[in-house]
Chains A and B, each alone.
Chain A
Amino acid sequence: MPGRTHVAARINGEQTDFLCEPWQSLLEVLRDELDLTGAKEGCNNGNCGGCNVILNGALVNSCCVLGVEVDGAEILTIEGVAQGDHLHPLQRSFLENAALQCGICTPGFIVAAKALLDSEPEADEARIRHWLAGNLCRCTGYDKIVRAVLDAADEMRRAPAAAT
């Protein structure tokens, strides 16, 4: 069998090189090779959104992407959403709206919601619910999560600079 492949990608703004086996998913690479454990494995088959990352601007399940596929790609994970000690409006909004209980799905929801609001700042409740349907939460019943995204969208529209 072929050996490990050298892959170079920009992850959270930093040039990152790693070696991976062809069968390792991007999720496994992030968690096991790069210590970026913010992306979570909930199902490992694309049905829970816990492992969401933004790959070249598109929201993906990192469990459904191979590590070898991301050579030359730009990747944003939950670890790159806050800027230093400055939380993203979505992160603040999740805290203030009590939009998490156990918190395991939270990184996936925040990454997914960021991908939405980056491209559709006017998203309403119906659009948010549609966009987030690939992210499962078992604790909250989604009410406070949807409200948190609506609040963050509102804040980002009022002060766009805060979202960068």
Chain B
Amino acid sequence: MSKFLENLGSIDRRYIFLIIAIVVFLPLIFPLGLPVEPTNLTIDSFNAIDKIPKDEKVLISFDYGPSTKPEIHPMAIAILRHLFTNGNRVIIICLWPDGLFMARQALQQVAVEEFDLTYGVDYVNLGYRPGNEAVIKGITRSFPANFAVDSRAIEIKEIPLMNGVQSLKDIGFIFSLSAGYPGSVEWVQYASNPLKIKTSTGVTSIQVNEILPYVTSGLLQGIIAGMPGAAEYEQLLVNNDIHPVIGKAGKSMDAQSIAHLVIVLFIVIGNISYFAKRKKEKKY
């Protein structure tokens, strides 16, 4: 037995590579749907969005770029699916220049291909405006002053969804997809807190600690925290049969979870064989 344990200690590293390759590759094709245990932060965010009345308009702000896409984009897809299933109408703005491309991709996938909605009636993309928090402060007073035209250079007046929306006061719910500055902190400080608008946010995992105080003080309804949060939200969509299958974050989290577990197993095996060898040396 101890012979077997010792050889275990000096496995050829290529078997480790093979196992890692399999463990990461398989869940991408056949998602195992490992039991993702949604945590409270994600549940609060899910319930807040689920309870938005049908006629309320929802503002989503795309404040991230390609480098943080793996963590944040799955959240954008998930909440768009959730809102469109509930029949809510969505107004999108971007405080990051790259956010515009992220918004276009998400709308193309969900609004056009999955739900086949009509632009200008069910959803509108007002595009990117420079100025960071100055833009938020601007739309608390007036939308037309800051977004005269949408991302397709169409006058706001001609967009049916936008008439009746003079300023942020006419918006029922705000969701900020945020990878840093400007992001959810600025949305809470300049919009949701002064105007008392229900708000939730999706952030990269590094920012969670910075945003947590806003949840405990009731200014934010839950947080979707990094890729794990996105996977939990996708799981909630499946549990409430809003969407049949888990999304990209869920599949990636499957691969991450198993890979991490396998690496820890390697460490444990390595130590067991290390002790077997040391016990044998002590004998001689």
Tell me whether A and B are bound partners: no
